[in-house]
Structure formats: structure tokens, C-alpha cells
Amino acid sequence: MTTNHQHSPGHHQHAHGSHNDHQHSDEEGMAQMLDLDALLLKEHLRQIFEWTAGHHQNPRNIMDLGAGTGTGTLGLARTFPEASVLAVDQSEFMLGRLVATVDEHGLSSRVTTAQVDLDQSWPEVADIDLIWAASSMHHMGNPARVFEHIATTLSADGMLVVVEMDKFPRYLPRELGFGVPGLEERCHEAADSASWNAHPDWAGPIHNAGMAMIEQRTFDYAIDDDQKLVARAAHRWLSRMHAALQDSLSVADLQDLEMLLDDDGPQSVFKRNDLAMRGSRTVWAARISQG
């Protein structure tokens, strides 16, 4: 989507433009990262789905905005087995991956898709009981207008849930055994300076759109029990950091990243046993204001 923020080259759930080879390659990389995150964060996401169910136990119609490869769509369909789910994304490629996954899990009778650029138009739906927007609102060019659409689309007792990463995940210990300590912290500082994943506290914009906050909560995670899977995720993320921060990091830090990313090198992430995927997500839940 066209936005007023800069975002990381990873964890993007949308894509713009023609489907040329470069875009397909980029979307394939994003899809693999999203799917890998879903595997690692299964328990973390389950907590958020259960928290959502605690606030709305029986939604019949659900809409997943910025559905990506379908992590949220699948989780919602499983959490609410009586509900139908509409997965919305502007990327044909992502929706194709989502449909294939939905079919594999036998959920195609309850999941439909809509290819929509939410900065340009809005799906022709109404009376939606639950609207889910995970890591997507900060990609909107005009989030205030999207929140207004959401407010007019929710059913009388419907609920909005917005999920955002507070920071990108961290994987490395501060002391790597080589180089200057704090490499990953410096990578994150550079990403923050470029406004990657920048988003406000959504409570204000949600209130301005005529919705009342139910609860705002932060969910932490720290995952280290599957070192091979964590190493795969670390390698993907650090590769994107290395590619995107060439002009922001020192030559020494870039060389240290290359050592971590060298699959066969002695400092490769794949040869470490001290990795942990650490981070948090904040969740906002709201309903239509009654007065």
C-alpha cells in the first residue's frame, strides 16, 4: 500500500504494482517469513485468539483485514468454528497462498477472499461481528478513514481487534563472541530511525472513529525451544536487515552480519545454540460507542 511511513522489507502483508519477477520474489520471501513466524509464534497467537474470544464468544461473520498468508484467518476460523471468515488483502499472490492453506486444512467452506486495496476502496459488506486487523493498520495511507469504514461495517454488537508488533523480533544474544557487543540493538536502532513498523497508540484514532475501547493489552513472547526453527527465522530477518541497512550500519557491523548469515561459516546462526525469538504485540479491542 502507499503509506506515509517507511516500513521494513519484511513482515509486509501487502504488495503494490504489477506482478513482475522482482515483486513475485519479494512476495515469496515475505510469505515464507510470515509462515515461519506463524509456526514459531503458534502459542503466542493462540493466547491472543483466546483473549479475543473472551470478549466476543460467538461472532458469525468475521473480516480479516490485510490477511497476508492467512495466519489470522486460520486462527480465527479455528477459534470460532461456527463463523465464516472473509480474508481481505490487496495481493493476489498472498491470497493465492491463503486459499491453498485453507484448502489443506479443510476450511474452504467457511473462508472467502476479497482482493481489495483498502486505501482505494472498501469491501461491500455489512453487519460484520468481528473485524481483525493484525500488522496491517500501520500500512494504511489513511488509517482514520479505514477506522471510519470499520465503524460503519460492524454489527450493533460487533468488535474490532487491532494487533501490532511493538518492535521487530530479536534473536541474538548481546555478546556474540566476536565483533562489538550489541549488533542487533544497533540494527534495530537503524530500523527505528527509518520508521520501520511505525504506528501510534491506536486508542485515539479508534475513539475518533466513534468506537469505544474495551481493553488494550500487550502480549510478550520468548521462544528458544526449537533452535533450528529460530535459526531459520533469524537468518531470514537478518538477511533483510543486511540488505536494507547498507547505508545505515558500519562496515564492521555489516561484516559481522555477513558472518552470521554465512551458512557454512563458523559464526553462522545455524551453528549457534543461544538464539531466542523475543518480542511483544499490543492488542486493542473496541466496540461501537453507544453514546
Nearest-angstrom CA–CA distance, 48 and 281: 9
The percentage of the chain sitting over the pLDDT mark of 70, rounded to a whole number, equals 91
pLDDT given for residue 34 in this prediction: 83
Helices (H) and strands (E) in the chain, counts: 9, 7
The tens digit of pLDDT for each residue in 6-30 reads 344 433 334 323 333 444 557 887 8
Query: Taking the CA atoms of the chain, what radius of gyration do you get in angstroms?
Result: 19
Do residues 262 and 216 lie in contact, with contact meaning Cβ atoms separated by under 8 Å?
Answer: no
Q: Does the pLDDT of residue 154 top 90, yes or no?
A: yes
Q: What is the pLDDT of residue 162?
A: 98
Q: Would you state the cell numbers that stand for residue 245, as one nine-digit string? A: 541497512
- On average, the pLDDT of the chain sits at 89
Helices in the chain by DSSP H: which ranges?
21-40, 42-55, 71-79, 92-104, 143-153, 183-193, 203-208, 227-244, 251-261
Cα 89 to Cα 100: distance, rounded to the nearest angstrom: 15
Q: Which of 34-38, 78-82, 153-157, 226-230 has the lowest mean pLDDT?
A: 34-38
Query: What is the C-alpha to C-alpha distance for residues 150 and 153, in angstroms, rounded to an integer?
Result: 5
